[in-house]
Chain A
């Protein structure tokens, strides 16, 4: 094991896959000379050269569409979006072309592209830069959506994503980039679609993913210590494919569910989870499914208030106490 940051873990995954497969290329705004807007790709240009690490103009529809076209011929582009929020200007490329081309061609084409970048609020950058589109993306059959919470998961999942033959959208978090975690040495792969029980408990299941895993773990520690409530935290890690079985197994054990997500509530990932849990584990539930989401408004700028708009440990704590009432 080595203790590295989430940022380094992603960088190591990129470097290992660039080393392993000559078809892997990294393209995006400022990924080369600038070392990445968030320094994720630092040092890769020096190591792999400008043919493999390509700085793009600010032109998301153009370069992402180009990556999709190249992937149809066997190149494996890993495209960096400086913010996932910028997906809106490449929406047609991402969700008409990448998501549909296999289907519309009757299975003749595959599109092994990875699009990665941060998708989170909490950095006071306002409504345009704080989107969390995992629900929008996962609504499109044909794509896979990954939202890692820890350094180890980020590395293992990104390596799997790059080797995947379907388009994979990989949603990181700028606030997590500096978080350190233990990452196994050597080849470390985590299959997409496998949830991880980050904390074992018996009284309440918190189903969550991304940075909310950290909030949930913090709240769970307080609940244990101050309220004698034992919380199980299930980290989905991948939104699609979805490991609902791990969620259901936990619900069967605790009989109570709180979903925690950095999502606007309407038609969120949690909405889908709640539907599936009530449909498949109705008899295991001792009460209604609870949910804690982002407060339903565009992302507010005001720094102290934005903390309150998003899930945070205190809000999780409060919601958990409601859920076990």
Chain B
């Protein structure tokens, strides 16, 4: 264990969490054999040492970026909401590491991890949080609305479940345009009771859209536990739509990759949609405005942080594999901290958008006056 990197493993036993977590059954409606050891799954066995270290590095960069953003928020550099992904890193990194050129990603408002996982740079991401013109959305979107169409990343959406029909639409376009690709439409466990999500499930199954609905089940929709909000097994709702489904442990990046790889192949080759529920945990509140002291115990959080942390676990795995040394892990961590600090400096030094920027990026036509075909006023006083 690299103490420079992460908190040491606890020496005392913590009480059991008061909230009973989902039992990960790894049940799936597909018949494919699952490897016992996910490291041996072909998609993981094919990874080079450098690629494995890259997965680790991306997870560390997400965590350090978010920790730095939290400090900036506490320092009143960031407005609005800040929904942190800390604890869930293996999910976005595992899933996005599988993307081919015609695979697409869309997610909800806890979107920083996916943005970094698809390859967005930290500087524009941090600058967006600071509301700066150099932000990835020019300071117009904020924390919940990161986008990178050039990296097949379609947001970053604020309304719970509202992005899921769009995800089905990405898959529809991929299929309509005859490309071999798929969409991964991420949502939290709180989204599964929204009507738009079920409408998208039905369309995907009905029209064989190559979309994987990924439920990142962190146990809580804001402050309401799964037991208090959702009946049944979340992914199993797929059976009502004759759709494939699966579950996996989101603390193990190998398992996430092995599971998603199987469903992606189904989507790519047979246009089969699926629901995959990935068991995960967030250490921070729903947003930084959540005092996080009413609906779960500190002991529960500590249990995950200390014993089920995806970065710690993957570090241990890579050390055991001989792919990573403690020195390299420490260096990666140091670099991630420095990169995040640099991003904060970049954001701090960047200019805010001006009042004149408020009315750009509203209409394509207004932004392309030479190509404008309509007439009349687009904006009003």
Contacts and interface: CB of A to CB of B under 8 A. Distances in A.
A168 to B, nearest CB: 9
B380 A272 contact: yes
Interface string A139-159: 001101000000000000000
A41 interface: no
B145 A104 contact: yes
B94 interface: no
Contacts of B378: 141, 193, 240-241
A281 B263 CA distance: 63
A10 B381 CA distance: 33
Contact of A166 (B104, B171, B365, B381): B365
B203 interface: yes
B203 A63 contact: yes
B367 interface: yes
Interface in A187-212: 191-195
Interface in B353-381: 360-365, 367-368, 373-381
Contacts of B373: 160, 163-164, 191-192
B195 A61 contact: yes
Nearest to B185: A69
Contacts of A64: 165
Interface stretch (B68-76, B131-139, B278-286, B294-302): B131-139
Nearest to B169: A69
A260 interface: no
B159 A96 contact: yes
A133 to B, nearest CB: 18
Contacts of A110: 364
Interface string A73-101: 11100000000000000001100110001
A25 interface: yes
B130 interface: no
A267 to B, nearest CB: 13
Contacts of A186: none
A242 interface: yes
Nearest to B137: A106
A141 B362 contact: yes
B186 to A, nearest CB: 14
B156 A93 contact: no
B170 A70 contact: yes
Interface of B: 104, 106, 135-141, 145, 147-150, 154-159, 162-174, 176-177, 183, 195-196, 198-200, 202-203, 206, 360-365, 367-368, 373-381
21 contacts: A57-B203, A57-B206, A62-B200, A63-B203, A64-B165, A68-B165, A70-B169, A70-B176, A73-B169, A101-B147, A104-B156, A105-B361, A106-B135, A106-B141, A109-B149, A141-B379, A144-B374, A160-B373, A160-B374, A193-B378, A242-B377
Interface of A: 25, 51, 56-57, 59, 61-75, 92-93, 96-97, 101-110, 141-142, 144, 160, 163-166, 191-195, 238, 240-245, 272, 276, 279
Ranked nearest first, the 5 interchain pairs of A and B with the lowest CB-CB distance are A69-B169, A65-B165, A62-B199, A193-B376, A107-B361
Given A66-B169, A166-B363, 9 more contacts: A62-B202, A97-B163, A102-B362, A104-B156, A105-B141, A106-B138, A106-B140, A192-B374, A195-B376
